[in-house]
Amino acid sequence: MSQGGAKKLDGKETAREIREELAAGCADLLDRHGIAPGLSVVLVGDHPASQVYVRGKEKAATETGMRSAVVRMPASASEEEILLAVRRLNGDPAVHGVLVQLPLPEGVDANRVLEAIDPDKDVDGFHPVNAGRLLIGLPGFVPCTPAGIVELLKRHGIPLAGRRAVVLGRSNIVGKPLAILLLREHCTVTVCHSRTRDLAAVAAEADILVAAIGRPAMVTGEFVRPGAVVVDVGIHTITDEAECRRIFGDDADRLRAVRERGSTLAGDVHPVEAGARASWLSPVPGGVGPLTIAMLLKNTLEAARLAVARRG
């Protein structure tokens, strides 16, 4: 792995630990209340990456002791049909978590669909009610990727309170909720985006730098203060050998992957340059990705516990 002297923020291992804890939680719920948490995913169309993500979620849920179902709809499904499917799941007492896999086909208003999910079953944490709860510090479902990033940092013993955090990216699913979570952990938070001036200089002020910009290996050495902790959220499929060399240098495993399997995965961070300066770096793959699924399962178990508590 080409990440210089930086220690690895090991998402694979951390996710394994969390999934073990969740499996124990599921067994306990089944034992005491006869309930297995139920996760239902609405998958519209045949977007290849979505198919892969959904299969991964299903497998992880089942392995943890949850019931998992996928409601498959054709790409031609109308917004009303999708809304009807979501409402059915809202009303099904065996379903505790409802997730609509994004992106939805063109012409379907994703916001309207996400707002149709019962906030108490909204295990992706994208409903405005949960976004509002997060903002003002009330209990609710937190989006999985940012929740996973905080978990990754905490479980590696990275101190957060009082540290300077810079988040690159302000999307509703990663950058913004992460900024709020880091504030909650008492970091001093700066959020950057495409209009930020002197991006590298702002990033280089960070004790904790999180890159969620969707630009392969854009975060080069000059973005990283020596000793900073760097979290790489980006996921990119690299198919070109020259691009692979730009990112990974002469890393033989990566080059072989491109030549023999046709691709390798890279993040938003340049692992060689950033890894030479950072104290910790999350790899891609094996960093934030596995935590995202673990947090989805955590939210689903929480939703099932909530349903039990409400039932009395």
Binding site for ligand NDP (CB under 6 A): 145, 168-171, 173-175, 192-196, 199, 212-215, 233-235, 268, 288-289, 292
Q: How far is the CB of 173 from ligand NDP (least distance, A)?
A: 5
Smaller CB separation from ligand NDP, 140 or 169: 169
To the query of whether residue 57 is one of the catalytic residues in this protein, the response is yes
Number of residue whose CB is nearest ligand NDP = 171
CB 57 within 8 A of CB 45: no
Q: How far is the CB of 279 from ligand NDP (least distance, A)?
A: 21
Q: Prior bond to 48 cis, omega within 30?
A: no
To the query of whether residue 176 is one of the catalytic residues in this protein, the response is no
How many other C-beta atoms are found inside a 10 Å radius of the C-beta of residue 245? 15
Smaller CB separation from ligand NDP, 204 or 235: 235
Among residues 10, 120, 122, 124, the one annotated as catalytic is 124
DSSP labels, 63-128: HTT-EEEEEEE-TT--HHHHHHHHHHHHT-TT--EEEEPSPPPTTS-HHHHHHHS-GGGBTT--SH
Q: How far is the CB of 271 from ligand NDP (least distance, A)?
A: 15
Smaller CB separation from ligand NDP, 35 or 293: 293
Give Cα separations from 246 to 210, 255, 263, 273, 311 (angstroms): 21, 11, 14, 11, 56
| Order of strands across the sheet that contains 97-100 | 67-73, 38-44, 97-100
Smaller CB separation from ligand NDP, 193 or 259: 193
DSSP labels, 174-228: THHHHHHHHHHTT-EEEEE-TT-SSHHHHHTT-SEEEE-S--TT-B-GGGS-TT-
State which H helix or E strand residue 296 sits in.
Answer: helix 288-311
Smaller CB separation from ligand NDP, 203 or 228: 203
Residue identified by tokens 């179902």 is 69
Nearest residue to 65 (alpha-carbon basis) of 90, 94, 28, 33? 28
Report the alpha-carbon distance of residue 72 to residue 215 in Å, rounded: 31
Give the list of residues 6+ apart from residue 56 with CB closer than 8 angstroms, or none.
293
Q: How far is the CB of 1 from ligand NDP (least distance, A)?
A: 17
DSSP, collapsed to helix, strand or coil, labels residue 143 as coil
Q: How far is the CB of 211 from ligand NDP (least distance, A)?
A: 8
Give the tokens for residue 53.
Answer: 């993500």
Q: How far is the CB of 237 from ligand NDP (least distance, A)?
A: 10
To the query of whether residue 8 is one of the catalytic residues in this protein, the response is no
Smaller CB separation from ligand NDP, 68 or 292: 292
Smaller CB separation from ligand NDP, 3 or 145: 145
Q: How far is the CB of 176 from ligand NDP (least distance, A)?
A: 9
The residues annotated with a catalytic role in the active site are 57, 101, 124
